[in-house]
Amino acid sequence: MKKYLNVAKTTFNDSIQYATSIIFRIGGFTITMLILISLWNFIYSGNDNLINGYSLKEMIWYLLLAEIITFGSGSKVATNEVKNCIKSGNIAYQVTKPYSYPIYVIFKFIADTFIRFIIFLLVATTLGLIFAGPLETFNIQTLIISIPVFFLAVLITGMTRILISLSSFWVEDSTPFQNVYSKIILIFGVFFPMEMFPSIIRTIVRFSPIYGVSYGPAKLVISSSFTLFKEVILSQIIIIIVISILISIVYRKGARKLNVNGG
Amino acid sequence: MKAIEVKKLSKTFKSKTKEKGLKGSIKAIFKPKYQEKKAVNKISFEVEKGEILAFIGPNGAGKSTTIKMLTGILFPTSGEISVLGINPHKERKKLAYKIGTVFGQKEQLWIHLTPYDNFKFFGAIYDIPEKIVERRIEEYKQIFELDEFINTPVRGLSLGQRMICEIVASLIHEPDILFLDEPTIGLDPVIKEKIRVFIKRLNKEKKTTIFLTSHDVGDIEKLCKRVIIVNNGHIVLDDSMENLKYHYLNKKIVEAKMNTKINLDDVDGISILKDKDYNLKLEVDLTKKSISDAIKLLDPDKIIDINISNTPLETIISNIYKETKE
């Protein structure tokens, strides 16, 4: 465990070197959010009623909170870095080190995400307070129960990305799969809460990682429900166990068929 | 005691093939074809503890594949491997503490961090107490004169400086065996020499076993006492450096551009390989004649340009092949 904490510490040290690039990403995030907030304002205009149980304020907060996880966990460690490591053959070095490569990448991902996530959280909160106003239901209990849920949501995102990147052992380029995953999360988890979809899609979302990585955490902050907290955290733990098993199987199989360039 | 034992080791790669042109590309998507290549074919050898072994051969001979099977990166198709009594594929992590690897064409350093931060990181990965890591960094700092760049981010280092740091990073846990895969590739002669001197010192002082693959005859000549030559996945020669030098590395190639056409005939110890217009290519047998004899023969006043080189490894291997067939 100590060595993995060292991996995280070194990654954190490394990520500070290019922290300025995150500032530029904030611009992109803010513009996207402003466009989506305007869209929801337009949809709700002249309509004081709720849409599928959500007021305009709740909808904007849902959007911002779900988007923090997506943007905040957009570290290249779990995507391009793993893919390039396998394709370039640099994984040869990783395999000869006394650690588990998947766990090494997970710790690297968490450390690389830390600063990015905090920055996006601050920006999103500011946008929420300006364009929607404070959530009346939000209190200290919500804050406490949200921390582990958001942490696990980021962890699941990273692990899913790593699992997809490990397909590089077999396919030429795992980027298209990453893109498909991003679009599914955006449409079914970020842009619209699952209550907006027909019951069949709702059921699929409920039992998919989308519930743990976007709907669950965002809805938890809006509703401040302890019952929902228990449901979300349980589903996140189950998802983590399943993805861990899959990563372990895929990595083991991939490593067996590894064909490093030049031998 | 044996550091490495290899018995009938083989590795077969399966690679996709494609017919030429657009039609071939489309066909390959729907009906992919594969071909098998035996990169390593039933090789057996042993390496003693404390030995420096050169494992050489032309491109595609199976050198890197072998090194990667010995370090647990690649799984063998068949055969047995024991490195320090450990099976690399069953106890990869256990072996990792005992071996160091340097791949000349791959990178393990964190490029945004300084060499010092990198060494500290690798020390922690191998569970080495901080005090010992500091002591070792200090030691390597003296040997390699790292002072100048130890606090410069790796991305700002030259290729030679990077390679030195790669080697130090691989030695921070003081491995029993160091696997070096083309460690001097692309480096200038000064850095090459520095690395060679260090490898020799490491072997002498710490009794580290060195397993070296290289294309550079200089690396092999200066470092190794024993050489294994591989070609097409087979061991072509397993002999002492002394024997190899006596039989195959005793020749130099002299290429000269002359300002006038001169007519030469073979003399004992100097044979003409090429004589075209003003260009001459001679092979000098150093057991019979010296390089200065060859230059005198050419007439130094008529030489415009001259290049003296070792016999290419490929030529040495083909000579060995011819002899083993005869």
Mean pLDDT across the stretch A183-203? 91
Residue B31 pLDDT greater than 80, yes or no: no
Report CB contact under 8 Å: B125, A98. yes
Same domain, B200 and B274: no
Report CB contact under 8 Å: B125, A260. no
Distance of CA B43 to the CA centre of its chain: 18
With bands split at pLDDT 50, 70 and 90, how would you rate the model's confidence at A11?
Answer: confident
Report CB contact under 8 Å: A3, B127. yes
| CB distance B285 to B251 below 8 Å | yes
Alpha-carbon distance of B70 to A21, in angstroms, equals 41
Same domain, B172 and B61: yes
In B, what residues contact A, Cβ < 8 A?
13, 15, 39, 62-68, 71-75, 92-93, 96-97, 99, 101, 103, 105-108, 110, 112-113, 117, 121, 124-127, 153
Name which of B275, B271, B272, B299 is nearest B285 in CA terms.
Answer: B271
Give pLDDT tens digits for B209-247.
999 988 777 778 788 889 998 888 999 889 888 887 777
Residue B69 pLDDT greater than 70, yes or no: yes
Report CB contact under 8 Å: A10, B117. yes
Residue A228 pLDDT greater than 60, yes or no: yes
pLDDT at A95: 84
pLDDT at B5: 95
As a whole-number percent, the residues of chain B with pLDDT over 70 amount to 97
As a whole-number percent, the residues of chain B with pLDDT over 90 amount to 37
Give me the amino acid identity at B118.
Answer: N
Mean pLDDT across the stretch A108-117? 89
Distance from CA of A120 to the nearest CA of B (A): 23
Report CB contact under 8 Å: A263, B71. no
Is A253 near chain B, with CB under 8 Å? no
Give me the amino acid identity at B206.
Answer: K
Residue A263 pLDDT greater than 70, yes or no: no
In a domain, B319, yes or no: no
**Among all residues of chain B, which has the CA nearest to that of A87?**
B106
Domain that residue B201 falls in:
2-246
Radius of gyration (Cα) for chain A, nearest Å? 19
Integer angstrom CA distances of residue B258 from B261, B262, B273 = 7, 8, 15
Residue B89 pLDDT greater than 80, yes or no: yes
pLDDT at B159: 87
Report CB contact under 8 Å: A263, B103. no
Mean pLDDT of chain B: 87
Distance from CA of A91 to the nearest CA of B (A): 9
In a domain, B66, yes or no: yes
Give pLDDT tens digits for B263-318.
888 888 888 888 888 898 988 988 888 888 888 888 888 889 999 887 776 677 77
**Among all residues of chain B, which has the CA nearest to that of A9?**
B121
Give pLDDT tens digits for A130-166.
998 898 888 899 999 999 999 999 999 999 999 999 9
Q: In sequence order, what are the residues at sequence separation of 6 or more whose Cβ sits closer than 8 angstroms to the Cβ of residue B100? A: B170, B171, B173, B175, B177, B178, B179
In a domain, B325, yes or no: no
Residue A19 pLDDT greater than 70, yes or no: no
Name which of B241, B189, B186 is nearest B56 in CA terms.
Answer: B241
Same domain, B242 and B257: no
Provide the b/e sequence for A121-146 (b: ≥16 CB within 10 Å). Answer: bebbeebbeebbeebeeeeeebeebb
> How many independent structural domains does chain B possess?
2
Q: Which residue has the tokens 């849902």?
A: A62
Report CB contact under 8 Å: B117, A18. no
pLDDT at B183: 84
Residue A47 pLDDT greater than 70, yes or no: no
The residue from B226, B246, B266 where one domain ends is: B246
Alpha-helical regions (H) of chain A:
2-16, 20-44, 56-72, 82-88, 91-95, 101-131, 140-165, 175-185, 199-206, 209-210, 216-223, 226-256
| CB distance A113 to A73 below 8 Å | yes
DSSP category for residue A54 = B
Integer angstrom CA distances of residue A58 from A52, A75, A137, A216 = 11, 28, 10, 14
Alpha-carbon distance of B249 to B309, in angstroms, equals 11
Give me the amino acid identity at A213.
Answer: V
Alpha-carbon distance of A5 to A2, in angstroms, equals 5
Instruction: Please give the structure tokens belonging to residue A218.
Output: 């965002």
Same domain, B37 and B78: yes
Give pLDDT tens digits for B100-146.
999 887 888 988 889 999 999 999 999 999 999 999 999 999 888 88
Alpha-carbon distance of B219 to B197, in angstroms, equals 10
Which of A12, A87, A93 best tests the B interface by mutation, with the highest count of B CBs <10 A? A93
Of B72, B106, B125, the CB nearest to A3: B125
Name residues 13-42 of chain A within 8 A of B (Cβ): 13-14, 17-18
Q: What is the largest CA-CA distance in chain B?
A: 70
Same domain, B181 and B261: no
The domain spans of chain A are: 2-256
The residue from B246, B263, B287 where one domain ends is: B246
With bands split at pLDDT 50, 70 and 90, how would you rate the model's confidence at A222?
Answer: very high
Same domain, B267 and B300: yes
Paired with B231 in beta bridges are B234
Query: Residue B264 maps to which CATH number?
Result: 3.30.70
Alpha-carbon distance of B149 to B234, in angstroms, equals 42
DSSP category for residue B267 = B
**Among all residues of chain B, which has the CA nearest to that of A253?**
B75
Of B15, B108, B117, the CB nearest to A93: B108
pLDDT at B228: 92
Same domain, B81 and B128: yes
Same domain, B81 and B206: yes
pLDDT at A70: 87
Give pLDDT tens digits for B251-265.
888 999 998 888 888
pLDDT at B326: 54
Alpha-carbon distance of A155 to A161, in angstroms, equals 10
Same domain, B180 and B230: yes
In a domain, B315, yes or no: no
HSE (side-chain half, CA atoms, 13 Å) at A50: 7
Same domain, B180 and B276: no
Same domain, B196 and B231: yes
Residues in chain B within 8 Å Cβ distance of A259: 13, 15, 74
Distance from CA of B297 to the nearest CA of A (A): 43
Compare B53 and B190 and report the one with higher pLDDT.
B53
Residues in chain B: 326
Same domain, B177 and B257: no
Q: In sequence order, what are the residues at sequence separation of 6 or more whose Cβ sits closer than 8 angstroms to the Cβ of residue A75? A: A109, A112, A113, A116, A158
Paired with B306 in beta bridges are B256
In a domain, B321, yes or no: no
